[in-house]
Amino acid sequence: MEKNWLELVSLVGKKITLIPLQPSHKAGLITAASDGSLWELWYTSAPSAETMDMYISEALQQLEDQTSLPFVVVDNKTQKIIGCTRFMNVTAKHKRLEIGSTWYAKSAQRTGINRECKYLLLSHAFEKLGCICVQFKTDWFNQTSRNAIARLGAKQDGILRNDRLNADGTYRDTVVFSIINQEWHGVKKSLLLQMDQYGE
Protein backbone atom coordinates (compact mmCIF):
# COMPACT_ATOMS: atom_id res chain seq x y z
CA MET A 1 0.00 0.00 0.00
CA GLU A 2 1.22 3.51 -0.81
CA LYS A 3 2.23 5.21 2.42
CA ASN A 4 0.07 8.15 3.47
CA TRP A 5 -2.10 8.08 0.35
CA LEU A 6 -4.88 9.44 2.55
CA GLU A 7 -3.47 12.79 3.58
CA LEU A 8 -5.34 14.79 6.20
CA VAL A 9 -7.25 17.46 4.32
CA SER A 10 -10.33 19.60 4.93
CA LEU A 11 -12.88 19.73 2.10
CA VAL A 12 -14.72 23.05 1.91
CA GLY A 13 -18.12 23.55 0.30
CA LYS A 14 -20.80 26.24 0.28
CA LYS A 15 -22.86 24.82 3.15
CA ILE A 16 -20.45 22.48 4.88
CA THR A 17 -16.81 21.72 5.54
CA LEU A 18 -15.47 18.21 6.06
CA ILE A 19 -12.74 18.19 8.70
CA PRO A 20 -10.62 15.15 9.64
CA LEU A 21 -11.93 13.58 12.84
CA GLN A 22 -10.11 14.39 16.09
CA PRO A 23 -10.74 13.34 19.71
CA SER A 24 -11.68 16.96 20.46
CA HIS A 25 -14.77 16.54 18.27
CA LYS A 26 -16.38 14.18 20.80
CA ALA A 27 -18.79 16.68 22.40
CA GLY A 28 -19.96 18.01 19.04
CA LEU A 29 -20.56 14.50 17.73
CA ILE A 30 -22.58 13.56 20.80
CA THR A 31 -24.76 16.64 20.33
CA ALA A 32 -25.27 15.89 16.64
CA ALA A 33 -26.15 12.23 17.22
CA SER A 34 -28.55 13.22 20.00
CA ASP A 35 -30.54 15.30 17.50
CA GLY A 36 -32.98 12.54 16.61
CA SER A 37 -31.45 9.86 18.88
CA LEU A 38 -29.78 8.46 15.79
CA TRP A 39 -28.21 5.47 17.54
CA GLU A 40 -31.70 4.04 18.03
CA LEU A 41 -32.32 3.82 14.28
CA TRP A 42 -31.63 0.39 12.83
CA TYR A 43 -30.11 1.70 9.62
CA THR A 44 -27.57 4.20 10.98
CA SER A 45 -23.98 3.87 12.14
CA ALA A 46 -24.29 6.81 14.55
CA PRO A 47 -22.89 6.11 18.03
CA SER A 48 -24.47 6.98 21.36
CA ALA A 49 -22.77 9.05 24.05
CA GLU A 50 -21.76 5.79 25.77
CA THR A 51 -20.10 4.36 22.66
CA MET A 52 -18.59 7.58 21.28
CA ASP A 53 -15.10 7.01 22.73
CA MET A 54 -14.88 3.60 21.07
CA TYR A 55 -16.32 5.01 17.83
CA ILE A 56 -13.63 7.70 17.66
CA SER A 57 -10.84 5.36 18.76
CA GLU A 58 -11.67 2.77 16.11
CA ALA A 59 -11.96 5.42 13.40
CA LEU A 60 -8.58 6.92 14.28
CA GLN A 61 -6.97 3.48 14.37
CA GLN A 62 -8.25 2.87 10.84
CA LEU A 63 -6.78 6.23 9.83
CA GLU A 64 -3.41 5.18 11.26
CA ASP A 65 -3.69 1.94 9.30
CA GLN A 66 -4.48 3.97 6.16
CA THR A 67 -7.70 2.03 5.56
CA SER A 68 -10.01 4.94 6.38
CA LEU A 69 -10.14 8.73 6.52
CA PRO A 70 -12.97 9.85 8.84
CA PHE A 71 -14.44 13.35 8.69
CA VAL A 72 -16.80 15.38 10.83
CA VAL A 73 -19.35 17.42 8.86
CA VAL A 74 -19.42 21.05 10.01
CA ASP A 75 -22.16 23.56 9.16
CA ASN A 76 -20.45 26.63 7.71
CA LYS A 77 -23.02 29.05 9.17
CA THR A 78 -23.15 27.78 12.73
CA GLN A 79 -19.71 26.12 12.83
CA LYS A 80 -21.39 23.21 14.61
CA ILE A 81 -20.78 19.54 13.90
CA ILE A 82 -23.85 18.06 12.20
CA GLY A 83 -22.64 14.61 11.24
CA CYS A 84 -19.87 12.27 10.22
CA THR A 85 -18.68 10.47 7.08
CA ARG A 86 -15.54 8.77 5.83
CA PHE A 87 -13.47 7.21 3.11
CA MET A 88 -13.24 3.55 4.13
CA ASN A 89 -12.17 0.10 2.92
CA VAL A 90 -9.33 1.88 1.16
CA THR A 91 -7.07 -0.02 -1.23
CA ALA A 92 -4.42 2.48 -2.28
CA LYS A 93 -2.62 -0.01 -4.54
CA HIS A 94 -5.70 -0.35 -6.71
CA LYS A 95 -6.94 3.24 -6.23
CA ARG A 96 -10.27 2.12 -4.80
CA LEU A 97 -12.26 3.17 -1.76
CA GLU A 98 -15.74 3.28 -0.30
CA ILE A 99 -17.70 6.28 0.97
CA GLY A 100 -19.74 5.27 3.99
CA SER A 101 -20.44 5.39 7.72
CA THR A 102 -22.36 8.58 6.97
CA TRP A 103 -24.91 10.03 9.36
CA TYR A 104 -26.39 13.46 9.98
CA ALA A 105 -28.27 15.13 12.82
CA LYS A 106 -32.00 14.95 12.17
CA SER A 107 -32.21 18.72 11.64
CA ALA A 108 -29.58 18.47 8.88
CA GLN A 109 -31.36 15.75 6.93
CA ARG A 110 -33.19 16.55 3.68
CA THR A 111 -31.45 19.92 3.42
CA GLY A 112 -29.15 19.22 0.48
CA ILE A 113 -26.19 18.71 2.78
CA ASN A 114 -25.74 15.06 1.84
CA ARG A 115 -25.52 15.87 -1.85
CA GLU A 116 -22.82 18.49 -1.24
CA CYS A 117 -21.00 16.15 1.13
CA LYS A 118 -20.88 13.40 -1.49
CA TYR A 119 -19.82 15.91 -4.15
CA LEU A 120 -16.87 17.04 -2.02
CA LEU A 121 -15.82 13.46 -1.28
CA LEU A 122 -16.18 12.26 -4.86
CA SER A 123 -14.30 15.27 -6.24
CA HIS A 124 -11.40 14.60 -3.89
CA ALA A 125 -11.42 10.87 -4.60
CA PHE A 126 -11.35 11.16 -8.38
CA GLU A 127 -9.53 14.46 -8.93
CA LYS A 128 -6.94 14.44 -6.13
CA LEU A 129 -6.46 10.79 -5.18
CA GLY A 130 -6.88 9.49 -8.72
CA CYS A 131 -9.35 6.78 -7.78
CA ILE A 132 -10.58 4.43 -10.47
CA CYS A 133 -13.64 3.31 -8.48
CA VAL A 134 -15.65 4.61 -5.53
CA GLN A 135 -18.14 2.28 -3.87
CA PHE A 136 -21.24 2.80 -1.74
CA LYS A 137 -22.96 0.08 0.28
CA THR A 138 -26.28 0.00 2.10
CA ASP A 139 -28.80 -2.39 3.60
CA TRP A 140 -31.25 -3.98 1.16
CA PHE A 141 -34.16 -2.76 3.28
CA ASN A 142 -32.91 0.84 3.46
CA GLN A 143 -34.76 2.05 0.39
CA THR A 144 -34.19 5.71 1.26
CA SER A 145 -30.43 5.22 1.21
CA ARG A 146 -30.58 3.17 -1.98
CA ASN A 147 -32.53 5.91 -3.73
CA ALA A 148 -30.15 8.60 -2.49
CA ILE A 149 -27.12 6.69 -3.77
CA ALA A 150 -28.77 6.13 -7.15
CA ARG A 151 -29.55 9.85 -7.43
CA LEU A 152 -25.85 10.58 -7.10
CA GLY A 153 -25.35 8.73 -10.35
CA ALA A 154 -23.95 5.51 -8.90
CA LYS A 155 -24.80 2.23 -10.59
CA GLN A 156 -25.86 -0.88 -8.71
CA ASP A 157 -23.22 -3.61 -8.97
CA GLY A 158 -25.05 -6.33 -7.10
CA ILE A 159 -26.28 -7.69 -3.77
CA LEU A 160 -24.16 -9.49 -1.18
CA ARG A 161 -26.51 -12.01 0.44
CA ASN A 162 -26.10 -12.61 4.21
CA ASP A 163 -23.21 -10.16 4.08
CA ARG A 164 -23.04 -9.46 7.82
CA LEU A 165 -24.67 -10.23 11.13
CA ASN A 166 -26.79 -7.41 12.54
CA ALA A 167 -26.89 -6.53 16.24
CA ASP A 168 -30.37 -8.06 16.52
CA GLY A 169 -29.16 -11.42 15.23
CA THR A 170 -30.54 -11.09 11.70
CA TYR A 171 -28.39 -11.16 8.60
CA ARG A 172 -27.99 -8.16 6.33
CA ASP A 173 -28.13 -8.29 2.56
CA THR A 174 -25.87 -5.49 1.31
CA VAL A 175 -26.54 -3.60 -1.92
CA VAL A 176 -23.32 -2.46 -3.61
CA PHE A 177 -23.14 0.61 -5.87
CA SER A 178 -20.19 2.25 -7.58
CA ILE A 179 -19.00 5.14 -9.69
CA ILE A 180 -15.93 4.58 -11.87
CA ASN A 181 -13.48 7.19 -13.08
CA GLN A 182 -14.77 7.14 -16.66
CA GLU A 183 -18.21 8.14 -15.33
CA TRP A 184 -17.06 10.92 -13.04
CA HIS A 185 -17.28 13.76 -15.59
CA GLY A 186 -20.95 13.05 -16.24
CA VAL A 187 -21.75 12.42 -12.59
CA LYS A 188 -20.02 15.66 -11.58
CA LYS A 189 -21.96 17.64 -14.17
CA SER A 190 -25.23 16.15 -12.92
CA LEU A 191 -24.44 16.84 -9.26
CA LEU A 192 -23.50 20.46 -9.99
CA LEU A 193 -26.75 20.88 -11.90
CA GLN A 194 -28.75 19.40 -9.02
CA MET A 195 -27.04 21.63 -6.46
CA ASP A 196 -27.62 24.70 -8.63
CA GLN A 197 -31.26 23.75 -9.21
CA TYR A 198 -31.95 23.40 -5.50
CA GLY A 199 -29.88 26.42 -4.49
CA GLU A 200 -27.19 24.35 -2.86
For 118-160, how does the pLDDT look when each residue is reduced to its tens digit (9 = 90+)?
Answer: 999 999 999 999 999 999 999 999 998 899 999 999 999 999 9
How far, in Å, CA of 200 to CA of 196, rounded? Answer: 6
Is residue 4 domain-resident?
no
Assess if residue 133 is contained within a domain. Answer: yes
Q: Which range (43-52, 62-71, 94-103) has the least confidence?
A: 43-52
Q: Is residue 21 part of a domain?
A: yes
**If pLDDT is split at 50, 70 and 90, which confidence band does 1 have?**
very low
For residue 167, give the CATH number of its domain.
3.40.630.30
Average pLDDT of the chain is: 92
Answer yes or no: is 3 within a domain.
no
Q: Is residue 6 part of a domain?
A: no
Assigned domain for 103 exists:
yes
The separation between the first and the last C-alpha atoms of the chain, rounded to the nearest angstrom, is 37
The pairing of beta strand 96-104 with beta strand 81-91: antiparallel
Q: How many domains does the chain have?
A: 1
Burial of 189 (0-12, 13-18, 19+ CB in 10 A): exposed
Is 1 domain-assigned?
no
Rounded-to-integer distance, Cα 113 and Cα 148, Å: 12
> Looking at the domain assignment, is residue 36 inside a domain?
yes
Angle made by CA atoms 126, 195, 124, in degrees to the nearest 5: 15
Per-residue pLDDT band at 88 (split at 50, 70, 90): very high
Classified as helix, coil or strand, 96 is strand
As a whole-number percent, the residues of the chain with pLDDT over 70 amount to 92
Distances (CA, A) of 126 to 39, 69, 80, 132, 182: 31, 15, 28, 7, 10
Expressed as residue numbers, the domain containing 32 is 11-197
